[in-house]
Amino acid sequence: MVTQRQPWHVVKPSKLHGNGVFALRDIPSGTRILQYAGKRLTPEQADALFPVNPDEPFHTFFFALSNGKIVDGGQGGNDSRWINHSCAPNCEGHENQDGSRVFIVAMRDIAAGEELLYDYSLVIDDEITEELKQNYRCLCGAAQCRGTMIAPLPSAEERAQAAADELREVAAELDAEMEQARKTPVKAKAKKAAARPKATPQTDKDVSNLPQESAEQKNSESEIEEDKKDKKEKKDKKKKKEKSKNKDKKKSKDKDKKADKKDKEGKKAKKGRKKE
Ligand SMILES: C[S@@+](CC[C@H](N)C(=O)[O-])C[C@H]1O[C@@H](n2cnc3c(N)ncnc32)[C@H](O)[C@@H]1O
Ligand SMILES: [Zn+2]
């Protein structure tokens, strides 16, 4: 004899909002009551669909999955789409292993006749303003009601943890870049150029990311540039030495002038190269 499993729930009007879902019989804690069914959407598809009802623009049948998809209970959904939100819920969503399906599970023993409720904890990408909270206002009436169905803001501790995680990620990325740069074969002169303060990490990164042939080509070009510069610097020094012999000024003033001159020469050289 095949026994049909009796449903745990029934759909009927709720005092909270529209339709609601109620326990048809006592439901033990941990019971998987029903799956939140519906069409799978990408966030872009969900945004394009929203709002469904212009009279109630913030009404939602969406349930976001951790695999990035959104279940639209409004398309191909089942009775789960009528479950209302509460800040003091008796149910919660449990995902399967790959985060592709979600089930509504009893968080505690639920007596026959009780309304089934879970915390929507809506996630909104925009800044959470008072207006937005009002758009998603909660009427659950629980003592600990947040006043909104939007997810609570992370605590200071959670924010600090998130910031620390982000910093760790950035540090790991930098480490990986440094490691990559160390592994990249470079000729002695190119190494020397990289060690100079004006060589930015971006330049190093670009070279390491180029195919081997192009990187070598770039290195030999920079070698020629370096040679030219070295020769010019030597020439300049010689000229300045000769000039300083004839001058009777304070060392510091002299130094400033030299720096000034060097700076101007540098600018000229840059301009010249551009014109070529
Ligand atoms: C998935 S539907 C739930 C079924 C809904 N009662 C109906 O009849 O369409 C979600 C919508 O119900 C309303 N809702 C659910 N719980 C609510 C609550 N605690 N306070 C205010 N509105 C609620 C909101 O408009 C929400 O977008
Ligand atoms: Zn509430």
CATH number assigned to the domain comprising residue 93: 2.170.270.10
Q: Is the dihedral of CA 39, 41, 47, 48 positive or negative?
A: negative
Return the pLDDT at 49. 85
- The Cα 187–Cα 150 span in angstroms is 58
Share of the chain above pLDDT 70, in %: 65
* Two tokens, residue 6: 């009796």
**Res. 272: pLDDT tops 60:** no
**DSSP secondary structure letter of residue 8:** S
Tell me, using a 6 A CB cutoff, whether residue 81 lines ligand 1: yes
Last residue of a domain, one of 137, 155, 173: 155
- Higher pLDDT pick, 243 / 154: 154
Return the pLDDT at 186. 67
Beta bridge partners of 72: 39, 62
How would you class 122 by CB atoms within 10 Å of its CB: exposed for 0-12, middle for 13-18, buried for 19 or more?
Answer: middle
Please give the tally of structural domains in the chain. 2
Distance of CA 21 to the CA centre of its chain: 36
Global pTM value = 0.63
Q: Are 10 and 22 in contact (CB under 8 A)?
A: yes
Average pLDDT, the chain: 76
Tell me, using a 6 A CB cutoff, whether residue 140 lines ligand 1: yes
Return the pLDDT at 23. 98
Same domain, 130 and 228: no
Return the pLDDT at 256. 36
**23 alpha carbon – ligand 2 mean position (Å):** 20
Same domain, 139 and 240: no
In this structure, how many other beta carbons lie within 10 angstroms of the beta carbon of residue 233? 12
Q: Which domain holds residue 230?
A: 224-276
